[in-house]
Amino acid sequence: MTRRSPVSMSIAGERGLPAPSPDALAHSERLRSLIVERIGAAGGWISFAEYMQLALYAPALGYYSAGAAKFGDEGDFVTAPLISPLFSRTCARRISRWLSDTGTDAVLEFGPGTGRFAADALEVLAEPGSALRRYALLEVSGDLRARQAEQLQAVTAVEWVNELPRGFRGVVFANEVLDALPCERFVVRGEEWWRLGVGLGSSGFEWRVRPPDGAAPGDTEFVEAAKQRIKDLAAQEQALPEGYCGEWHPWLDGWMSALSAAMDKGVVLLADYGLPRYQLLHPDRMQGSLRCHYRHYAHGDPFAYPGLSDITAWVDFSAVAESACRAGFRVAGFTTQTAFLMGAGIEQELQTMAAGLDPSSPDYLSLARGTRTLLLPGEMGESVKFMMLTKNIDEHEMLDEPSFALRDLRDSL
């Protein structure tokens, strides 16, 4: 989420990025006009969350809703399931175990992207003895749904759902979905946090700061969320300096309560780039964690090529834990990707997949490369975190979960 762009952190403006094709540029201009209209209708200012919602999810035009390649070499970024099948297979071993331990039989995957995770995970989940009876995919993007159907055409056990299934019993999985939810941006002004939104200037979209004085939709919620964060940081003897910019995900609470309302019993496994609150909102990160990905360039300008560039912000896992607890979940685990995958048995999975391969063969080298990218601290190993939530699970049903025992980071939340 977010995402890993092989050409790393070259922060560039629109003109510093590779030029899109004329068709892609025309598409971006249509989306730009729609957002300009919205800003005009709102009196000259919209929140950054509204801008991001339109840029990523406006019907037929947003980055995820429309046909840009997005994933893989021809796209803008790669995610863990595309880096190596080891990721999905290792997660699937634990998911399979949780289904049988808790007497449940369904998996629901949120935001499946290309469908690669499901394709690889289902090889493990379909092994003899597995409790799985139903694998459902929930995807907001029609374009990605079509790609998932193509990826999974040989698999009969999957189905697509438009909303959370009622009375769900099983495991919910979401990789790099929370950081694709629209985020609110703020800037520190004296003792207060002000809203950083989007207006129109002579050369296009511009950042516009305003105090949350009740005149714009969402101001009241913004003030509440800011107060809570200022109080939490003060408890850690931390204050953010003047001019600091940061983000949070305002729809997290709603997402979590809808998930809990739909769930009778089960486990939620979330994986995303992120940190506990006091590490994420830290003076070392004066410009926050907002990042855009376009043709494998990671850049910092969300106004460059709207609809052609991914936008993402790191997840505040303290906020995820708070929303989860309010919604009736228990935070059963929080750790790094490396610790999760090691605890979940990636080494055994690697041995199985590498068995019989010549160490100089392309398949072996690709497995080795993928393992490094998933596990090395400077790659995804430390920056991606895993969180496990449970609902209506008795302690005795899931004993000593090894995937979170190796490095329990819940104290840092």
Ligand X SMILES: C[S@@+](CC[C@H](N)C(=O)[O-])C[C@H]1O[C@@H](n2cnc3c(N)ncnc32)[C@H](O)[C@@H]1O
- Closer residue to ligand X (CB): 102 or 337: 337
Shortest Cβ 182–ligand X spacing (Å): 9
Residue 272 within binding range of ligand X, rule CB under 6 A: no
- Closer residue to ligand X (CB): 136 or 230: 136
Among residues 28, 48, 53, 64, the one that binds ligand X under rule CB under 6 A: 64
Shortest Cβ 6–ligand X spacing (Å): 15
- Closer residue to ligand X (CB): 161 or 405: 161
Residue in the shown chain whose Cβ atom is closest to ligand X: 111
- Closer residue to ligand X (CB): 110 or 244: 110
The one segment of 12-20, 96-104, 109-117, 321-329 that binds ligand X by CB under 6 A = 109-117
Among residues 48, 51, 98, 110, the one that binds ligand X under rule CB under 6 A: 110
- Closer residue to ligand X (CB): 64 or 317: 64
Tokens of 412: 């840092």
Residue 305 within binding range of ligand X, rule CB under 6 A: no
Shortest Cβ 341–ligand X spacing (Å): 14
Residue 84 within binding range of ligand X, rule CB under 6 A: no
Residue 139 within binding range of ligand X, rule CB under 6 A: yes
Shortest Cβ 378–ligand X spacing (Å): 20
Please give the residue ranges that form the binding site for ligand X (CB under 6 A).
1, 64, 79, 81, 110-113, 117, 138-141, 144, 175-177, 180-181
